[in-house]
Structure 1
Amino acid sequence: MEKVINEANETLLALENALSKFDAPLMNKVPFEGSWTAGQLAEHLVLSNSGFLQVINGPVTETDKPADLMVGTIKKDFLNFDVKYDSPKEIYPEDRIYNPSELLENLKQIRAGISEAAGNLDLTKTCSSYELPGYGFLTRLEAVYFVIYHTQRHIHQLKNIYNGLNPN
């Protein structure tokens, strides 16, 4: 379990580091047509990752499958950068001005919460409060890996946004 804790911490810290390159004006600038701003992308991750933190800390049931059964599928899906996904409306960011320090603080709190949950809870239990479309009910371990791979996907996009705004 030490591996997943370290991987989650490193990924969420990498997100914070990538986001910290944006000042307020850049955070809210659209880099190219059809793209979110860095602020919108960060807000999407705040909404998604905080939701997963609630699911991980929520009600669970016994698991009748390998606890990591869906990890490979989640990784394959989210780290395939040739496929574009539409965000569910619940975690679709508003079109507004975002405060970089507020976003970073929210992301730091989520990182601490994920680390605490992964370190203190039985990750083999199945989360019963939310059924993820296409994946079903995830174990806590799978949910942590969902956060990792979903965040890694968006770090990749965040770097593209930054490069789009800073072509040198």
Structure 2
Amino acid sequence: MEKIIKEANETLSALENTLSKFDTAQINAVPFKGSWTAGQLAEHMILSNSGFLQVINGPVTETDKPADFMVAQIRNDFLNFNVKYDSPEEIYPEDRTYNQPELLNNLKQIRDGISASIADLDLTKTCSSYELPGYGFLTRLEAVYFVIYHTQRHVHQLNKIYSELDSN
């Protein structure tokens, strides 16, 4: 339990810390053709991770598989930086001006919520409110690892965005 709390906190904090490096102008600057801005990437993470927080805290059923059954697959999929994925429409960020302090505050609230859920809930239960395309219904443990690996993927992208903008 301590391991997953630590891993989630470190990953979600890394997202906040990386976003904090951007200055006001950089948050909404397009770094290269086809890329989101740092603000859009942060908004995507807020939409995704807050959605997963709701799923984790939502209705559950008993689990008929190992609680970590999909973790390795999720890790392999999201930490393969050679593959590009299209964001589902419901978590696609708007093309607008983003406010960095507001983004950071939302990310911190989600991090706190994920930590509380890990500490307070039975992670072996299966979340029944949302079936993730390609993965099915995830256990709470798998859902937490989805948040971790998806966030790690986007921290990697955010660092690339920062490097591109910082070098210009």
Give the 3-state SS of the residue equivalent to 2:93 in structure 1.
coil
Structure 2 residue 31 is matched with structure 1 residue 31:
yes
Structure 1 residue 138: Cα displacement: 0.1
- Aligned AA (1:167): S
Deviations 1:36-72 (A, max 9, x none): 0000000000000000000000000000000000000
2:41 aligns with 41
TM-score (norm 1): 0.99
Structure 1 residue 16: Cα displacement: 0.4
2:114 aligns with 114
How far apart in 2 are the matches of 1:146 and 1:40? 20
- Aligned AA (1:2): E
How far apart in 2 are the matches of 1:54 and 1:23? 31
The answer to whether the 8 A contact 1:5-1:119 is kept is yes
Structure 1 residue 132: Cα displacement: 0.1
Describe how 1:37-116 pairs up with structure 2 within 5 A. 37-116=37-116
How far apart in 1 are the matches of 2:157 and 2:10? 17
5+ residue gaps, structure 2, are none
How far apart in 2 are the matches of 1:148 and 1:99? 24
TM-score (norm 2): 0.99
State the Cα RMSD in Å. 0.7
Give the 3-state SS of the residue equivalent to 1:130 in structure 2.
strand
Structure 1 residue 166: Cα displacement: 1.1
The answer to whether the 8 A contact 1:28-1:97 is kept is yes
Give the 3-state SS of the residue equivalent to 1:18 in structure 2.
helix
Structure 1 residue 23: Cα displacement: 1.7
The answer to whether the 8 A contact 1:24-1:98 is kept is no
Percent sequence identity is 79
How far apart in 2 are the matches of 1:132 and 1:167? 38
Q: Following superposition, which runs of at least 4 residues in structure 1 exceed 6 angstroms of deviation?
A: none
Give the 3-state SS of the residue equivalent to 1:166 in structure 2.
helix
- Aligned AA (1:115): S
2:132 aligns with 132
Give the 3-state SS of the residue equivalent to 2:122 in structure 1.
coil
Structure 1 residue 30: Cα displacement: 0.1
Give the 3-state SS of the residue equivalent to 1:128 in structure 2.
strand
Give the 3-state SS of the residue equivalent to 1:127 in structure 2.
strand
Deviations 1:9-41 (A, max 9, x none): 000001000000012210000000000000000
Structure 2 residue 16 is matched with structure 1 residue 16:
yes
- Aligned AA (1:47): L
Structure 1 residue 2: Cα displacement: 1.2
